[in-house]
Structure 1
């Protein structure tokens, strides 16, 4: 039988290295042996064998080959655990080789790494002219040779030798010398002298210094000292050129000065700076942007200084805070950290952050009926990605307008932020309320409001001054008006032209006219479901029902003659109608009569809970309280009032009733007693109440009177040029008042 010999390459691969034995000596107490092998340039699936040979303490040979593994693509590392993978304690010498076996069967052996396994390393030398811990031989300070001392050791025994190794990187900069140990040197320090010329051959470079203790065939090595030949590293604190130095170690910086320059400079000086020196600065302030990573630079041997230009956002992140500036100076293999410069960053002055306004406000007054936005002009250190908060704070609490939304590219390009204030919020603000605009920005880019920088707070007074904003031509002799549930349309009963005008509240123009087939349109009621509007005639028996979107008549309700007023319950089930002969309750959508009371009635008001009904008539001075179910009279309230009636909606448990005629009478419905009256300019034609605020609106002669329903005082009078009936939009922003004599509807912004 024939055998085939493996194909073995003649050239050897580089020897492995062991991290724990940089000088060829492996301590016996090493817990781990890390074997490092250079990356394999061939197929990553080629196999590698690690081969261990050596001599035990008892003189017997040692051998072990680890199982093969793929070479992979990167550095090859074997980690051998002491007492599991290898018994270092019982070894005297360890030889490490490896072999790569290719896919083609070629064996690629390596050179051998020889290691002495030692009990402990010998202590390092001392250098008189370069003491620890710097180990710097400064020719300006040390004018003679170098004196190196191997301190006494119990193993310095006669018959052994100590070899000094002075290994420089320059030509003529190395030196080796033996010190044979005689009996008189046992227990003594051993002195070596290295000629100054040899030392200075390594000027501005490192030298490795160690010794070996030789005993026959074995040797042990000391720890290595790396000595620098050249000037000692004397490191001053760095400078911040834009800062004002308070003392040699502290400085103050004005952020606005840095902002003007667009950058700030950290400077490192050293009169002995070399071009090969590496300087790495450190700025330590608030997290993230306040503590940047700054790439190192090499020294400038001509200028003897290096400048680092830093982003001004470092200053922005540390506003009102302190940061430190220092640097690591590396020369050769030596590194030293400088002392730190303490830098105080001043906060921004209020004048620099007085940038918030509502452009639509006039003299600090804000009309909530107009469209408004909060504007923040370009602020210091503005950039994209910075979180911005805007709050509006009034008596109702704090409203979040912008909740940490980052500055967008569009906002940055425009150099301002504009945040629209929702109309729904503005409409809740009563007249003369003070609203604060509070804004903050996260200049340190953390996005945390707790560390955000505030802008100057702006205050605005709500100026809800009612004013006429439109006069709309409608049909002939308009009477009652009603507003759709969504507030987008107003329906006007035209008694002289047998029609209903539909006004769009956004444009305040007539957008449709609904013709009436017979009779006069005098009364309007909107169903709370929002789909239907009722049109009544005070001289006809028909009530027409129209679709509020298509304006088509869906049906009519018969049998209710001469309706002068109609109210619909909040659940949409019941319709209450009044005429000169009766008050009736019917099914709102079918017209089926449910109850009737044969009393004279002109105007109705339904209490908020739908449990009672209030009725007045010009021929009577009493206000009648009716049961809302069977319409029987519960009580009579002597009021000396007639024609109009309204309930305030601000307190459903104890509302007030306003009755108008020659004067305005106030009734407390909790007790059904008159609590006062108000003298008006003229007789009262109609009354309406605000949906959410304690206000009532009274049409009297040529004026619209505004009443505070908490104090029952007239607080404002607005000239409207005459009026008949009034309706308020659901959001309370507008009043629509019909004007019979001029065939118009006047619109008042409230």
Structure 2
């Protein structure tokens, strides 16, 4: 490129895009690699490269390799022929900066022709405005063909191409003999339209190529256009017979004559170079002799070779009986490549003619080529007796060796961009080889000439069937949305070296398929498919032979065309067709069958069915809505999910059970591993709702975890309703389940505000406050820094007025509070002003929903203090039987149950003193009692009958007294007494149906509910609150008694006949263990302060039970059966050795169990046939001595046949199966060691 600056008129005109402002001092450097077209012809005289018609059809594609320091916003342009504006431009958009190549498309009408100088690329760099250019090149571009336009394309040859024999060989009956052949043959070609220097004539003499390159003298007429065929060519093997001579031409850029017919009219010449040759064969088309085949009209004809075997061989001997005729077809394709076929030998009939069939596919592959036919007589087969002369046949027609692809989702030229992928099916094409490289290419042109493209290159792979196909994902085809026409084609690279730089022989391009990606505007109703249920599902079992499709649109007329598309997700599950409407089908719904195979192929997938109407009036195409149908077992109503930690009947969830998150369990029998399942926990909007998606599995059960923070955000004073649901995503369908309406309860285990230094005591001794105390609220479940809090104090001042103070009003908890709890300073100065003996309450609220509305905030446990302002001037009382007599002691409640006494002792006591002793419970309630003083100085209060100690177990109480002496009240100091809990060993266990700990609750032995009872416990008293709970793994707890105060009779005798719901017991999985937990709040407080009694554990039998304990010890081998009261056990093997036994094994539960064993590499099967059908079965299973070579599964069979299969894992110890099973087939594969099965349970129907 010249170093001179470019003048302003040489720069491109502005185009429609945001104006880019560049620095005024931009820099221009010639540092780009030259852009290039695809497969140019190189070298070309007087030009850098050449382009022909194939390069510029529709548009000329120019490629830029990635340039140095490429950035988003760079603009790239291409110039030709010194034009002032670029013929095409593009801009690097975000996401494109990683590509290796960038393409521009120049419309055909803008491409200059001839020798085009100054072809170069230019890049304007984003930001700096600097420009980079490529070196200018000269391109030779031609759009004409040698011979020009065929004036009569109906002829089987090009009307403007003519070739002539020498005069002596043109006379009637002329024969080319050996003497004439020795002189060579000069053929003459007439000048033709669009003849140019360096045109190449390709003359085919009897299938052999002879070329001539035209020069200036040929063009001027100074010398004739003559092609000499040398004797060496003429005398090549098989040169005798009826010869065919013709030519075609191509120019310097490989534009061939044509476009319909490439070849000149053939001339024929009889050749007799070898007198020993047999008579040539004849080629028949539908029984008639023919040497020029138009495959467009003869494609379905009957092609035969006729041979007349001689009675005598050339040496005069008779043709032997049994002589074989071997015919050879030697073809030359249009591209010059050979295609040789040998027909099956057959027995000759000397003196009579016979025909041999020729496959139409062999003729098709030779379109625009030629075929020579000859035969040999062989006897025996393989020993040649004679060879015939050769017949040359020319074939012409429309080449369609590489037809266009088919996009399954293409609906009359439109593809919906919302689908996840498209499937591109390849046709049968030539040339084909499994190892050829095949590139799928998609391209569209952006405004300005920038080209959007996508390519996928793979080996060709196996031929159809099955259909070769490619998958293009949505992320790859979204780039074409809104760009209009998208061309889809493929290129085949056979890896061979073609003509000089032509690219036309090694890389072949298919025909184009033109589609558009865009929104489907539906104006016709969706099609109907028979057998589809209300959930949009089609069960293949409901389809008998064929499915019936109905197109309901009726506004049609004769000549309209319906195109319908059945797009399945399974391999081979798609089909399509067109229906031309006639007077019998127009104007009414149209129904037609689709083979059931297209339903079955999409089992457990989906079908997308749609149709389009192409009006006969050439009006725009109308499109229907899309019917999406899932294929498989009918789903019905999907059962609701469960929250594992929640109770049932009612459906409630205690937040304390899910402090680490809640578990949503989705289980339904129709689940497939290919399903996607989306679980929804819908509470308060935003932070209180959660969605998660997982894959299905073969166990038909998926667990989802709702984060603890999401659960906590829904906690409110009156509970929060939560909607729990899942959606089955099968294909593109979204099928919702029934909804679980769950009540999330309020927290019951909340901390209580406590003044530092005072602690968990009922008396607030003002004299102990130093002024630096804090009020402490420890961290609570689900605490979060974004929660808001309120805190207030209420009391009575010494003057009788009300005291109120708000420490927090809608304040954030903050990160420090989240980590350490809430620790505000206590208002000590105000507390010192409170009235002696008055009550002080401290309340604390938190909004778990992080909102500012106090009405939605949860009130924590309220702190109540009794205020003691006056410092005690008398010594504290002391309780008998305690750990000491100091101000803080501990006492064992059972030690003083029958002797609860408190002593008051002080100097100067007289019998005129009135002494009031107060027992202050932990909740600040008080029990006062009065005695007169004694001159001895000591008074003992006997509180045994009042049972105060019964109400104080597991709490801290305070004792104090006051006296009235000479009309004045004098308080004492306080004794703090920690009343310990009762030892667990002294507490009774709860029992159900009087069954002892570790026993079995057999539901078959009683009707109705089970009954729980608890014997009288030590220090029981009226008003104590009781919680009795039954728990089992995987199910919600059963609250038998939920915080109910006991009566006087129950305090005296214990609790009896408390119903344990049978429905809860029956809903347990097979053979479960349950725990029975009793808690008692002796103080009458909530469950957090209750004492837990010893737990009781049971095993529950919900149906029949088989533990093999009564079976005799027995061993069986393959083909043998063990018969028992509940089941029959049969063993068989595919190979190797194995068996089953009733044996004593430590791996079982009891002393005897069912044992399955095998030798290494053996497939052992055990059929377990139950005596009757059950609604559910379960069993214990354990593997022993199996190492890592484990493989076991079971097939479940029901009343109506096979139900399901499930693999058993090595770590699995208990399995349950429902769906009315009556038989198990246990499958055991390649394992050393054995399997033990025990404790079968059966639920009756």
Comparing both chains, which one has the higher relative contact order based on Cα–Cα distances under 8 Å and sequence gaps of 6 or more? 1
1 or 2, which has the higher strand percentage?
1
TM class by smaller structure: 0.3 to 0.5
